[in-house]
Structure 1
């Protein structure tokens, strides 16, 4: 389907934009006509045409600022920031090290704050202001074993979004995407040999999200269509997962059967 959002002449920065969800977001912004800067800790072996890479560890406040400066130096403006960099491996809360916890919080909460702060300083000086989109997770509301630090950090990111939206309006809009399970190369390994099919069976839409699904939400928040939207949280989780208690009581159920049993 053709992209309905035209971002020609706009400049976007996507953190963690060299792979997975971030790369999908970056590609969508290029398709919409934007000039796109992506950053990551390591230079990728290859990058799609239209993306400009800047090496940075955005957990460091100075490097976060330098990424924003690089976009400004190259294009003279910054219209959109997508704080996508994040994630964490599973860890037992009873034995996990303080260093691990600190690193998870730094990446998933502090780094978005640092980059947003630097971007806001530039956007506030532009007549057109700017838009910031924070990529969150369903873990902020529905955690699972092994994700205590990650879930807490993502819950903090949601509240950070709302606080910054209040402080930085009207020039800069700040919004949040709550992403459900997304099918990426990394996710396919994590979800096992069936490539996520068993997880997809628990989701109302009957499938896991694709990076393009998250990207579409970001395009909306970045576009004039969301000109009066700030401090919002858009759930991109396919309707959410069927409660475990229902599946336990109805082991053969699939999302479509759930809807039919409810009279849908």
Structure 2
């Protein structure tokens, strides 16, 4: 590889929940902009296929983010593979926000959601901190607009994402000034694969209800994450960035 290539592919990012959806989109965006990326996910075969398709600067690492042993081993594998770590994107999470009626919500189910959505980012920050400090790196946590607004029967998800916002600013204070930590809170992002989007297109009404006139795309989130990881965001830490097409600012009466 020539000198220019070495510079372009110097930075390394670890992205969790990267086998599909927003995580895959973030990984793809970073790779296109000169990063090397470790894609981490529970979905082993799918994650490995995605990493292989993304090329030589991508690698797959199997990881359950709620298991500290797996997190520690996974981070070590990333360092062994790439030799450094410049960014951590905590995107892995429980897919559905709905957990059923509160009276039927078991403590086990509650704890599982918090273990993945909230404890996972804490464990990753814990085991990545020393490596990120060495490179002056950054962390982006994937929260949700559901941290500040809710639908019925989403208590565990909302609590986990609200906690993640609080964890973000706590980490920013604890890990600064060498590590910046921010959160992105997506609204409605159409993260389905291309075939599903083509076969089941969203309605005109789906798009029109957004102040920007459309439902969000994975690239909208990926571009914001990439900026937060960049030197251009060097004065930004401890913040939540809502990317929802303006929906949380829209007054709605039935």
Tell whether the structures are fold-level matches, with TM greater than 0.5.
yes
Distance in 1 (alpha carbons) for counterparts of 2:64 and 2:15: 13
Give the drift of 1:195. Answer: 2.9
244, 247, 251: which is aligned to 1:243? 251
Give unmatched runs, 5+ long, in structure 1.
Answer: 1-5, 249-264
Structure 2 residue 123 is the aligned partner of structure 1 residue 114: yes
- Quote the residue 1:24 is aligned against: 25
Distance in 2 (alpha carbons) for counterparts of 1:220 and 1:163: 21
Secondary structure of 1:104's match? helix
- Quote the residue 2:113 is aligned against: 104
Secondary structure of 1:244's match? coil
Give the drift of 1:199. Answer: 3.3
Secondary structure of 2:103's match? coil
Distance in 2 (alpha carbons) for counterparts of 1:79 and 1:7: 13
Question: Where do residues 92-241 of structure 1 align in structure 2 (5 Å cutoff)?
Answer: 92=100, 93-124=102-133, 126=134, 128-185=135-192, 195=202, 197-241=204-248
Secondary structure of 2:88's match? strand
- Quote the residue 1:78 is aligned against: 85
TM-score (norm: length of structure 2): 0.87
Do the aligned partners of 1:88 and 1:150 also contact (CA within 8 Å) in 2?
no
Give unmatched runs, 5+ long, in structure 2.
Answer: 1-6
What is the number of residues matched between the two proteins?
238
Q: Determine which structure has the larger helix proportion and give its number.
A: 2
Structure 2 residue 14 is the aligned partner of structure 1 residue 9: no
Which is worse superposed, 87-96 or 50-59?
Answer: 87-96
Secondary structure of 2:143's match? strand
Give the drift of 1:183. Answer: 0.1
Distance in 1 (alpha carbons) for counterparts of 2:27 and 2:223: 11
- Quote the residue 1:91 is aligned against: 99
Distance in 1 (alpha carbons) for counterparts of 2:243 and 2:72: 29
Distance in 2 (alpha carbons) for counterparts of 1:65 and 1:208: 37
Instruction: Return structure 1 stretches of 4+ with deviation > 4 angstroms.
Output: none
- Quote the residue 2:44 is aligned against: 43
Distance in 2 (alpha carbons) for counterparts of 1:8 and 1:233: 28
Secondary structure of 1:176's match? strand
Q: Aligned-pair RMSD on alpha carbons?
A: 2.3
Distance in 2 (alpha carbons) for counterparts of 1:150 and 1:133: 19
TM-score (norm: length of structure 1): 0.84
Which is worse superposed, 131-140 or 65-74?
Answer: 65-74
